[in-house]
Chain A
Amino acid sequence: EVQLVESGGGLVQPGGSLRLSCEASGFTYSGSWMSWVRQAPGKGLEWVANIKEDGSDKNYVDSVKGRFTISRDNAKNSVYLQMNSLRAEDTAVYYCARDHWANSQMFDYWGQGTLVTVSS
């Protein structure tokens, strides 16, 4: 059974930092690109960042460039999102998802999400 389990969310003050983790099981994690996708309360989905299988390629949405860093540890089947200089507009549920390519790209496996609230 495929599982993606996020952790690390919580309440943080503006300007603060938080590190999200996502542990994967049930599929070939080391052979998969991975992404973080977020959803602000009552809003739509926004792709945040992704990372190549070996960590050698990373991409970010403009709004988080220079503040967020995606990384992975294939030995631990885990992907991380280090979030610095947090802003109120970063408040969202953060999902990790497998960023899969099979003739085209798709997010085929998703975690349950972890809530990040940026507020004083």
Chain B
Amino acid sequence: DIQMTQSPSSLSASVGDRVTITCRASQSITTFINWYQQTPGKAPKLLIHAASNLQTGVPSRFSGSGSGTDFTLTISSLQAEDFASYYCQQSYNNPKTFGQGTRVEIK
């Protein structure tokens, strides 16, 4: 199985900050990675698919990059509604696996 390792596990940031979350795959997954946002008590929401494609309706402050084994999710200017947990997910093969998550908290 492909292991997805996210870092950091949590971070504290202020509104307006630039935030970067990284995800490393245990083998090359080309660009087969998605990013999700989850707020407490809610279902995950797709943000980015295929490494860098913004899902319809997602604000442009979110962006994704990377290929091979190393990937990044960036929030260019953190907003109040962005305080949540974020997960990467590889779609290269089965079983589809997720990173352990990154919690973004208010500083």
Interface residues of A in 73-120 (CB under 8 A from B): 95, 102-108, 110-113
With both chains docked as a complex, state the minimum distance between the C-beta of B101 and any C-beta of chain A, in angstroms.
5
Bound-state Cα–Cα, A103 to B98, Å: 19
Main secondary structure, interface of B, reads: loop
Name, among A59, A60, A103, A107, the residue most crowded by chain B CB atoms within 10 Å (CB to CB). A107
Number of residue pairs A-B, CB distance < 8 angstroms: 61
Main secondary structure, interface of A, reads: strand
Asked whether any CB of chain B lies closer than 8 Å to the CB of A29, the reply is: no
- Look across to chain A and name the residue whose beta carbon is closest to the beta carbon of B46: A108
Interface size on A, residues (CB 8 A): 23
Asked whether any CB of chain A lies closer than 8 Å to the CB of B91, the reply is: yes
> Quick check: B32 and A45 within 8 Å, CB to CB?
no
Bound-state Cα–Cα, A120 to B93, Å: 36
- Look across to chain B and name the residue whose beta carbon is closest to the beta carbon of A95: B43
> Quick check: A46 and B98 within 8 Å, CB to CB?
yes
Chain B interface extent, by class: 20 to 34
> Quick check: A47 and B97 within 8 Å, CB to CB?
yes
Interface residue from B45, B55, B95, B101 paired with A62 (Cβ < 8 Å) = B95
Asked whether any CB of chain B lies closer than 8 Å to the CB of A66, the reply is: no
> Quick check: A107 and B44 within 8 Å, CB to CB?
yes
Contact digits for B83-107, partner A, Cβ 8 Å, 1 yes 0 no: 0000101010011111111000000
Asked whether any CB of chain B lies closer than 8 Å to the CB of A26, the reply is: no
> Quick check: A106 and B100 within 8 Å, CB to CB?
no
Bound-state Cα–Cα, A106 to B44, Å: 12
Bound-state Cα–Cα, A59 to B89, Å: 17
With both chains docked as a complex, state the minimum distance between the C-beta of A99 and any C-beta of chain B, in angstroms.
8
With both chains docked as a complex, state the minimum distance between the C-beta of B58 and any C-beta of chain A, in angstroms.
11
Spell out B's residues near A (CB within 8 Å): 1, 31-32, 34, 36, 38, 42-46, 49-50, 55, 87, 89, 91, 94-101
